[in-house]
Amino acid sequence: MTDTDRLTRMERLLELTRNLSATLDEQTFLQSLIDVAGELTGSEAASILQYEDASGQLLYVVVPWFQREALLDQRVPITDSLAGQTFTKGAPLIVNDVQADRRHWKGADQATGLVTRSLVAVPLLFKGQPLGVLEAINKNGNAHYTEEDITILETLAAQAALAIQNQTLQRRVQSTYEELAQLDRMKTDFIAIASHELRTPLGLILGHATFLRETIAGDHREQIDIIVRNAERLKEIIESLANMDNVQSGVARLRSRAVSVRRIIEEVAGSFQSEARGKGLTLTINAPDEDLVVEGDAGKISIALSNLTKNALAFTDRGGHVFVTAERVPGYVKVSVIDDGIGIPASDLPRIFDRFYQVETHLTRRHGGMGLGLSVARVMVEMHGGRIWAESVEGRGSNFSFLLPVDPAQADAASRVFF
Ligand code: ADP
């Protein structure tokens, strides 16, 4: 081989290596890799076999276009084949008289109608582990394969191993993603069915218990009160589940009209006043003396604000303070619920709006709840084209805020300026 030949080979190798990062699709890259392997080793054909865990065999995964029909996805036994030998030994192999070699597996020749006379094969190694084999067959003019052919194939095999590893990882990510999506669907279905099925019997319990409370006097009154209170608590949980489900299944619709955020704040804070007093907390509203009108769904804004207020009261110790504030900012009304309670560790903060996420594990929890309050609040706010977020310092307190666009039709334009 002349120096010019060597240089040409080097150039082809380098060109291919550069293409690896440029080619988005691994299969296309591997296809051109075997073409180059065939060309640079002066072979009739080259191919890549990948080890398949499930069958414990080698599988033809990249073959020349003219052998596609015959070879692609064909399995080659590990024990009785030259490729298998290369794979298990993890070392290159040259056989210049294949037909005379007992290790030769005849399946591929039978499928392609080609007779393999000579063969060079190298293992595809990734971090020292064999992934498969790159092989070339039938050197031109019945010449013998040389060490130089091995060097070329080994250089190409290193690139091929990377591409195959990438492909495997991508497939794994894809299948994990599909599994998760399936699990998520199952969870959503479960929530839909459970919340629906629980509603009817609970409605009956509440109805009858409320009726009994009106009719029964004396000693039993207290017990009935407990039943009603807890049934109402159950109803809230089921409503949170149903709210989530409605949003996810797209059933939830905004019933928008001009609503006064100030009035919503007063109503929500008012409904929590006695609970706050009972816990020795002060709950204060701080809002300008104007209506702060937005185009929105009062029921959904109330749910969001109630969930934030409920949390602020739950996670603040006796003697603490909770402020509900509202103000106008360009294009939006901003509502905040601020407490000087236990706060949220910085590591948990990014996840608290996720469904079912709770800072305390269910084993160490001192508070009730299902980890749904904040995710429900988020969907309610986002349905309005708004945004919700939290700032918190552990041990010092939390500040949950949300922005509601004054006019949702303009929310998009405003968000580009404001966010
Ligand atoms: P839950 O209904 O279980 O409270 P949420 O979605 O409302 O679920 O809240 C998720 C978690 O975020 C809570 O379990 C709590 O750990 C934390 N959290 C929410 N609000 C506050 C707050 N104001 N102060 C401290 N922690 C909070």
The Å distance, Cα 380 to ligand 1 centre, comes to 17
Do β-strands 321-329 and 282-286 pair in parallel, antiparallel, or remain unpaired? parallel
Report d(CA 15, CA 23) in Å as an integer: 12
Cross-strand bridge partners of residue 120 = 94, 136
Lowest mean pLDDT across 150-164, 251-265, 291-305, 337-351: 251-265
Report d(CA 384, CA 379) in Å as an integer: 9
Contacts of 272 (CB under 8 A, 6+ apart): 283, 306, 309, 310, 313
The side-by-side arrangement of strands in the sheet containing 282-286 is 282-286, 321-329, 332-339, 397-405, 387-393
Whether 365 has a pLDDT exceeding 90, the answer reads no
Measure Cα distances from 122 to 89, 143, 207, 314, 381 in Å: 10, 19, 77, 66, 59
pLDDT in tens, 42-66: 999 999 999 999 999 999 999 999 9
User: Which tops the pLDDT comparison, 126 or 191?
Assistant: 126
Ligand 1 pocket test target in 240, 243, 311 with most atoms within 8 Å of CB: 311
Whether 2 has a pLDDT exceeding 80, the answer reads no
User: Which tops the pLDDT comparison, 20 or 351?
Assistant: 351
pLDDT in tens, 167-225: 889 999 999 999 988 888 888 888 888 888 888 899 999 999 999 888 887 778 888 88
User: Which tops the pLDDT comparison, 93 or 238?
Assistant: 93
Ligand 1 pocket, 373 CB below 6 A?
A: yes
Question: Rounded mean pLDDT of 335-350?
Answer: 95
**Cβ atoms 288, 325 nearer than 8 A:** no
* Predicted pLDDT of residue 361: 65
User: What SS3 state is found at 331?
Assistant: coil
Q: What's this model's pTM, rounded to 2 decimal places?
A: 0.59
Give, to the nearest 10 degrees, the angle between helix 147-215 and helix 26-40: 170
Ligand 1 pocket, 374 CB below 6 A?
A: yes
Ligand 1 pocket, 352 CB below 6 A?
A: yes
* Predicted pLDDT of residue 4: 82
Report d(CA 239, CA 245) in Å as an integer: 10
Extract the tokens encoding 65.
Answer: 């276009």
Rg from Cα positions in the chain: 35
Ligand 1 pocket, 369 CB below 6 A?
A: yes
Whether 239 has a pLDDT exceeding 50, the answer reads yes
Looking from the CA of 154 toward its CB, the CA atoms found within 13 Å total 12
User: What SS3 state is found at 287?
Assistant: coil
The Å distance, Cα 356 to ligand 1 centre, comes to 10
* Predicted pLDDT of residue 363: 55
pLDDT in tens, 286-317: 988 888 999 999 989 999 999 999 999 999 99
Whether 350 has a pLDDT exceeding 70, the answer reads yes
* Mean pLDDT for the chain overall: 89
* Predicted pLDDT of residue 366: 64
Ligand 1 pocket, 353 CB below 6 A?
A: no
Ligand 1 pocket, 156 CB below 6 A?
A: no
**Cβ atoms 124, 163 nearer than 8 A:** no
Report d(CA 71, CA 113) in Å as an integer: 11
Report d(CA 166, CA 160) in Å as an integer: 10
Selection from 33, 320, 305 nearest residue 155 by Cα: 33
Measure Cα distances from 107 to 43, 53, 74, 84, 207 in Å: 20, 20, 9, 13, 76
Measure Cα distances from 69 to 72, 167, 188, 212 in Å: 6, 22, 44, 78
The Å distance, Cα 343 to ligand 1 centre, comes to 9
* Predicted pLDDT of residue 414: 46
**Cβ atoms 87, 78 nearer than 8 A:** yes
Q: What are phi and psi of 124, to 5 degrees?
A: -90, 115
Q: What are phi and psi of 415, to 5 degrees?
A: -65, -30
Atom of ligand 1 nearest to the CA of 375: 6
Ligand 1 pocket, 315 CB below 6 A?
A: yes
**Cβ atoms 132, 63 nearer than 8 A:** no
* Predicted pLDDT of residue 250: 65
Do β-strands 75-76 and 93-95 pair in parallel, antiparallel, or remain unpaired? unpaired
- The torsion defined by the Cα of 175, 176, 180 and 185, in degrees rounded to 10, comes to 10
Measure Cα distances from 360 to 138, 209, 288, 316 in Å: 67, 33, 36, 15
* Predicted pLDDT of residue 62: 96
The Å distance, Cα 298 to ligand 1 centre, comes to 23
- What's the gap between Cα 381 and its chain centre? 23
**Cβ atoms 93, 123 nearer than 8 A:** no
User: What SS3 state is found at 88?
Assistant: helix
Q: Whose CA is nearest to atom 23 of ligand 1?
A: 312
* Predicted pLDDT of residue 417: 45
